Amino acid sequence: MTADILFYIIIGIITINFIKDKILDSLNAKHYNDPIPEELSDVYDEDDYAKSQAYKATNYGFNLWTSLFSFAITLAFLLLDGFEFVDNLARSVSDNPVIVGLLFFGIIMIASDIITTPFSYYKTFVIEERFGFNKTTKKTFLLDKLKGLLMLAILGGGILAVVIWFYQLTGNQFWLYAWGIVTFFTVFMNMFYSKLIVPMFNKQKPLEEGELRQKISDYAKSVGFSLSKIFVIDGSKRSTKANAYFSGFGSEKRVTLYDTLINDLEDEEIVAVLAHEVGHYKRKHIIFNLTTSILLTGLTLYILSIFISNPLLSNAIGVETPSFHVGLIAFGLLYSPISELTGLIMNYVSRVFEYQADDYAKNTYMAEPLITSLKKLSKNSLSNLTPHRAYVFMHYSHPTLLDRVRNLRK
């Protein structure tokens, strides 16, 4: 195996992945105008349906151009030895492997952020704006960007620095220590994400006493679920799209409702959505997902430790001086077909879990309000009612609306 062959394998992986995605997108787009299934005929009226068709077509075009652009940039960067250039730049500042690694990733992150920002700006202020979703101000957009970058620098940079340091100290044994750190971080974030990170971006306050809170408590009590932490978040600050999610476990478990969800849905529908979330918890989906992701991380780090000290990895992407940080990028590219595969499996499992959570809501509460809430949420996000099967199989973490309605009515 020479570096040249590895280089062409990497180019091949990136190209095949790009073509595969474009084929799936176009398959999906061919079905945008399929007749709407009987069960879903009440989701849109004629005007809204026309609007959803236009929204789908606009996004399809936008995604085509952005992905083509990023594919071209990635190939150009590889072919023009961009990694060698950035690595030399970082090495001109310091000899310390931790600092060089941090600078290397820092430069790449900032450059890619500068390149992609015009696209996300256009998506938010032109496309989402045109279809009436956008509520973000330019100030919020900019602040989100800066806060996101700062968090990435502190958390991502911190973990990277510690992992490189472990590698310097323990060689190929580093993966065990890295796994420990990443596991601690994952569990910690799962527990305290809502407490520590969310307040940086949103205002959240406990759901006020009243009919809705009472109905939620009554339901929770009826299934023996202690739920004292119910929060409302100002999602309307950024978008009209609605959401609800569950986070943490043990005494830290809490439910977060978007204010947009409370506006769009009736009380019974909100309780049904919560019953679905409680279903995820009761069926142990949250613990399963957490455990699986920790085990997968361990496996990936172990495989990484087998290859990371091989200089071929760095040479494969055109960098002469082998190093941990460059090897990490090359490994990430070579490993992507495997992570694609594990992603597929996780999507499949996630769709099974969604049915189980729906069944739980059906059995412990009611099916009908969940059906009407899912329909309203689909309508309010102008979602696609007729996705292609292959596209669903590859990309969807939730079953289609049609499949969920059919399952709930079974």
Say if residues 212 and 230 touch (Cβ distance below 8 Å): no
* Pick from 114, 213, 229, 96: nearest CA to 165: 96
**32 C-beta neighbours (distance < 10 Å), count:** 16
- Residue number with CB closer to Zn ion (270 or 357): 357
**DSSP helix/strand/coil, 254:** strand
Q: How far is the CB of 280 from Zn ion (least distance, A)?
A: 6
- Residue number with CB closer to Zn ion (264 or 354): 354
- Residue number with CB closer to Zn ion (21 or 359): 359
- Residue number with CB closer to Zn ion (379 or 404): 404
Q: Which runs of consecutive H residues, i.e. helices, occur in 197-323? A: 198-201, 211-222, 259-264, 267-282, 285-307, 311-316
- Residue number with CB closer to Zn ion (233 or 328): 233
- Residue number with CB closer to Zn ion (360 or 391): 360
Q: How far is the CB of 55 from Zn ion (least distance, A)?
A: 24
Q: How far is the CB of 310 from Zn ion (least distance, A)?
A: 42
The 295-334 site mask, x for binding Zn ion (CB under 5 A), equals ----------------------------------------
- Residue number with CB closer to Zn ion (104 or 281): 281
Q: How far is the CB of 358 from Zn ion (least distance, A)?
A: 8
- Residue number with CB closer to Zn ion (357 or 370): 357
Q: How many residues bind Zn ion (CB under 5 A)?
A: 2
Catalytic one among 128, 268, 277, 354? Answer: 277
**374 C-beta neighbours (distance < 10 Å), count:** 21
Q: How far is the CB of 224 from Zn ion (least distance, A)?
A: 20
DSSP 3-state percent helix, strand, coil across the chain (nearest 5): 75, 5, 20
Alpha-carbon torsion (216, 218, 219, 221), positive or negative:
positive
* Footprint (CB under 5 A) of Zn ion, residues 240-279: none
Six token digits for residue 169:
């100290």
What is the C-alpha separation between 188 and 155, in angstroms, rounded? 12
Alpha-carbon torsion (370, 376, 380, 384), positive or negative:
positive
Q: How far is the CB of 130 from Zn ion (least distance, A)?
A: 30
Strand 254-258 vs strand 244-247: parallel, antiparallel, or unpaired? antiparallel
CB neighbours of 235 closer than 8 A, spacing ≥ 6? Answer: 202, 241, 242, 243, 258, 259, 260, 261
What phi, psi does 243 have (nearest 5°)?
Answer: -165, 165
The 355-394 site mask, x for binding Zn ion (CB under 5 A), equals --x-------------------------------------
For the CA atoms of 355, 265, 207, 276, the dihedral, rounded to the nearest 10 degrees, stands at -10
Strand 204-206 vs strand 244-247: parallel, antiparallel, or unpaired? unpaired
Say if residues 138 and 241 touch (Cβ distance below 8 Å): no
Six token digits for residue 292:
């699986």
* Footprint (CB under 5 A) of Zn ion, residues 44-73: none
Q: How far is the CB of 355 from Zn ion (least distance, A)?
A: 9
Within its chain, how far is the Cα of 107 from the centroid? 23
* Footprint (CB under 5 A) of Zn ion, residues 339-358: 354, 357
What is the C-alpha separation between 311 and 152, in angstroms, rounded? 28
266 part of the active site: no
Q: How far is the CB of 354 from Zn ion (least distance, A)?
A: 5
Residues that bind Zn ion (CB under 5 A): 354, 357
Active site residues: 277
